[in-house]
Structure 1
Amino acid sequence: MNTAEISDEEWMAWRGFRRLAEVITGRIVRDISDATGLSGPDFMILMALIRDPHGALLQRDLLEYLEWDKSRLSHQLSRMASRELVQRSRNNSAGISVSITETGRQLLATARPVHAKSVRRNFLDKLTPEDVNALIAITGRLRQSERGFIK
């Protein structure tokens, strides 16, 4: 088979994966938003920041982690800063530092158990232990990208 050709089964796998990811992610984001007002991108950024011991990352490191367009990240951070979820500051030669605020920490603390409960209800409870192991193996292979390992 020509590598450019995609079989009917392969299209079914691709469409199923895309649709499933969209639906489940949408349900989880809706639960978080209903409970906290945070959007999906808000939650992703706050989770990335909280992983750092100081709750801060350089904007370029956040950009690399998220693999977003520079403009998208900049606009998202501006919206979040206007709601006092994050703070940006120039860090001399290092660039722009993005840090989580106390408001961001409080909302994230509320969102994290909602997120976990929603992931369990909408995803994990539907899988067997064998399914989970298979997904770990599959996603491990898929996370390899041309740009390196996707975290």
Structure 2
Amino acid sequence: MTKATPERRSGRRLPTAEELRIWRDFIETTGALSSQIASRLQTDSSLSPGDYAVLLALSEAQDRQMRSSELAAHIRWERSRLSHHLGRMERRGLIRRQECPTVPRGAEVLLTPTGAEAFRRSTVPHLRAIRELFVDALTPDQLRAAGEIAAALSTHLGTRHES
């Protein structure tokens, strides 16, 4: 009788050396890309990627406001993380929080004119950085493949947003 390895007991195979190499390349490259995009956003607009995610969500929301729990789910953050971040954004005048009139203990987050202006000023430089650092590095076929890969991973992880 052969001895069962941890790999065999679980009924799943472990990644091969080639699969691990691809995984590391993917993680390291997406990390470097995210870091460069974040650095450009900070330099160009004094906004962090978190600031931008919140401002984008609020700019697209009805009446430029969302319940904080809805905002946390939308940008896929834990509510405590969002709460701390919103406090920093509120001190900078980018957003305002107020009690939700329809939900006890609920809070609404509103985009302020200062936040809307900061978002507006940051958008073109941010989109330009995405073009230069991501889109221009890929052929049209590679870009399509990247979209398919992202969609497959998102579906597999159950994190896919409806577009």
TM-score, normalization: structure 2? 0.85
CA distance in 2, matches of 1:84, 1:140: 35
Larger Rg: 2
Greater RCO between the two (CA within 8 Å, min separation 6)? Answer: 1
The DSSP-based 3-state class of the residue aligned with 1:149 is coil
2:67 is matched with which residue?
58
1:30 is matched with which residue?
39
What is the total number of aligned residue pairs between the two structures? Answer: 151
Unpaired runs of 5+ in structure 2?
A: 1-6
CA distance in 1, matches of 2:25, 2:84: 31
2:151 is matched with which residue?
140
Structural mapping, 1:1-150, within 5 Å: 2-3=11-12, 5-94=14-103, 95-145=106-156, 147-150=158-161
- Give every structure 1 segment of 4 or more consecutive aligned residues whose post-TM-superposition deviation is greater than 6 Å: none
CA distance in 2, matches of 1:145, 1:73: 25
CA distance in 1, matches of 2:135, 2:73: 28
TM-score, normalization: structure 1? 0.91
Name whichever structure is richer in strand by fraction.
1
Q: Label 1:148 to 1:41 Cα distance change in 2 as closer, same or farther (>3 A).
A: closer
Query: Could you report, residue by residue, the CA deviation over 1:101-135 in whole angstroms, capped at 9, with x for unpaired residues?
Result: 11111111111001111001111101000001111
CA shift at 1:90, angstroms? Answer: 0.8
The DSSP-based 3-state class of the residue aligned with 1:3 is coil
CA distance in 1, matches of 2:89, 2:74: 18
Identity of aligned residues (%): 26
| Matched residue type, 2:48 | S
Q: Label 1:25 to 1:148 Cα distance change in 2 as closer, same or farther (>3 A).
A: closer
CA shift at 1:92, angstroms? Answer: 2.7
